[in-house]
Structure 1
Amino acid sequence: MTDAAPRNPYISSRGLRIPKHPQITTGRIRGALRTGTYERKECDAVSRVVHEGDVVLELGGGIGYVSSLLSVNRKVARVVSYEANPRLLPYIASVHEANGVTNVEMRNALLTAQGGDPVDFHLRSNFLASSMHRGSDPDSIIETVPVPRHRLDDVLTELCPDVLVCDIEGFEAELLPAGDWSCLRCAVIELHPQWIGATGVRAVFDAMHGAGLTYFPKASEGKVVTFRRDF
C-alpha cells in the first residue's frame, strides 16, 4: 500500500501561491482565490496602471495578496504597506515568503493626519473582523492591543510614492484630504460610501483632483476608483 500524496499547502491564484490557513483561506475567500476573483476590481486596476519600478504606498495590507501581486506580476521597486491588525502580519509574511517577495515593508501602524499616541485595536476570533471599533460585535473581542500612529506628511516625504493603493474601510474620507499627494502618478482607492456618504466620496475625489490626478474610468469599477496624472 502506497502512502497518499501530501496535500498541496497552497492555493494558486493569479500566478501566486497563497498558503492555506484554517481561519483565513476559508469559504468564500478560498473560492475567490481559486477563481482569481479575490479583490478582483482592485487587482485589475493596479494591473492596468502600475508600472515596473514604481514605489507603492499601500494603506490596508489585508492578507498580503495585493502587495504580492504588485511585487511578482508588476515588478515594482518597493511597497510600503500599512496594516493595523497585528494578527495578520505573520500570515502576510508567509504569503510573501511563498512568492519570493522581498521588497515589501510591512508597518503595523495607522497612518493619520497628525500622528500621536497609539490607539486601541480590538482583536476578534475572526482575524478579518478585527478593528478599532469596539461597538461592532463587542462580545467577539478576545484582546485589545495598542497600535502606533504615523504622521501622514512624514511618510509621504520619506517615500515620495508613485502609486497609492488604499482600502481603509471608510477612513479614506478623513485621511486622503489631509495629505499632499502631488508626488503620485496614480491612485487606486476603494471607497466605502455606505460609511462615508456622498460628502466623503466627494472629499476623496477633491483630494485627488487637487493633487493633479484625474479620474480614470477605464481602470475603475464600482467602489474601486482609479486616478492618474495626465502628462
Structure 2
Amino acid sequence: MAKTKTKNKKAAQPKVKTDSGTVSGTDLAPAPAPETGADVVVETVSEAAPDTPAASEPERQAMLWCRDMRFPRNMELLPKRVRMSLRTGSYEQKEADAALRLIRKGDVVLELGAGIGFMSTLISTQTRAREVHSFEANPGLLDYIHEVHRLNRAKKAHLHHAVLGDKDGTTTFYCREDILSSSLDPEDGGADATPAQVPMRDANKVIAEIKPTVLVCDIEGAEADLLPKLDLSGLRALLIELHPQWIGSAGIKSIFQLLHDQGLVYFPKMSFSKVAVFRSDW
C-alpha cells in the first residue's frame, strides 16, 4: 500500500481590531492560559509604525495569570500583596465568585472603581453581560487597565476616567505611593497623598445614558457619600464591597436602608463578609 505524506501547516495568526488599530494574533493570548499562579514571559509585537525597525521586534513582557486572565507583572505599580494574590488566585476572590453567579445574559454593568481592570476583564470575558462600563479616578492606573483589557480581548469593557458625583466638573483625588490605596479622602492611607484634579461626571446623567442593570462598586469608603446621590431604581442587582472600617456602623446601616428603600434587598446566598449582594428580583 502506498504511503502518502502530509504536511502540517502552521495556522495563520488572526487579525484583531483594537482601539489602537489592527494587531496580529501573536500580540494577544490565543493559547490556553497556564494554571493560576504561573509567571510566564510573553513575546508581544510592538505597535510602532510599520515603517520603523521597532515594528517587527518582539518585546518580552512578564505576566501573572489569574482565573484564565493575564496581567502584566508591573513591579512598580502592583504592590507585592497584589502580585501574591494574583499568583494564588485569591485576588478579589469573593467579588469575582459573586459576579460570575450574579451577572446574566444581556446585563449592562456599571463598575465604580476599576482597580487594575480585574473585574471588568472578568465580566467582559467570562460572563454573558452585554457590556461593562468602568469608571476609575486614578490617572496612574489608566494605561495599565487598557493594557489588561487589550491582552485579554475584553471587547465588552469600556474604561472611563472620571469620578461620579452630583454634577459635572472636576474634583480632587489623592494619589498615593501604594497606588491602589489612592482615594477621594485626604486623610485615608497615610500622609504621602499627592492631590490631583480629575474629571467628575454627574452620576445620574451617566446612569441615564448607560442604563445599567447591575452596579459593581468598590470605591474605598466613598460608597456612603455616593450611593444616596444615585437613582438606583433601574437596577436588577448591586455587588458592593463595604468598608466599615471607614464608614462605621452608621454608614453600613444607612446603605442597607437606602438600598431597601430603592427596592434592592440584601441577598445572603451570594454575599460574603464585606462583599454584599443586593437584588430586586427575589
| TM-score normalised per structure 2 | 0.74
Q: CA deviation at 1:210?
A: 1.7
Report the aligned-residue RMSD. 1.7
The answer to whether the 8 Å contact 1:115/1:152 transfers is: yes
Q: Which position in structure 1 is the counterpart of 2:41?
A: 7
Consecutive unaligned residues in structure 1, runs of 5 or more: 1-5
- Following the alignment from structure 1 to structure 2, what is the Cα–Cα distance between the partners of residues 75 and 167? 21
The residue number in structure 2 matching 1:3 is none
Identity across the alignment (%):
43
What SS does structure 2 have at the residue aligned with 1:118? strand
Alpha-carbon offset, residue 117 of structure 1? 3.3
Q: Which amino acid aligns with 1:132?
A: L
2:215 is matched with which residue: 147, 157, 164? 164
Matched, 1:213 2:264: yes
Q: Within 5 Å, give how 1:27-106 maps onto structure 2.
A: 27-106=80-159
Q: 1:25 to 1:117 in 2, by over 3 A?
A: closer
What's the counterpart of residue 127 of structure 1? 179
| Corresponding residue number in structure 1 for 2:74 | 21
CA distance in structure 1 between the aligned counterparts of 2:149 and 2:115, rounded to whole angstroms: 12
Cα deviation, 1:34-66, whole Å, max 9, x if unaligned, reads 221101111111111111221000000000000
Residue 21 of structure 1, CA deviation: 0.6
Deviates more, 1:42-51 or 1:24-33: 24-33
Gaps of 5+ in 2: 1-39, 43-61
What is the alpha-carbon distance in structure 2 between the residues aligned to residue 46 and residue 207 of structure 1? 22
Aligned to 2:243: 192
After the TM superposition, list the runs of 4 or more consecutive aligned residues in structure 1 that deviate by more than 6 angstroms: none
CA deviation vs aligned residue, 1:135-184 (integer Å, no higher than 9, x gap): 4533x34x532111111211111111010000111111111122221111
Higher relative contact order (CA 8 A, sep 6+): 1
Instruction: Specify the SS of the correspondent of 2:169.
Output: coil
Secondary structure of the 1:148 match is: strand
Give the Cα separation in 2 of the matches to 1:205 and 1:135.
25
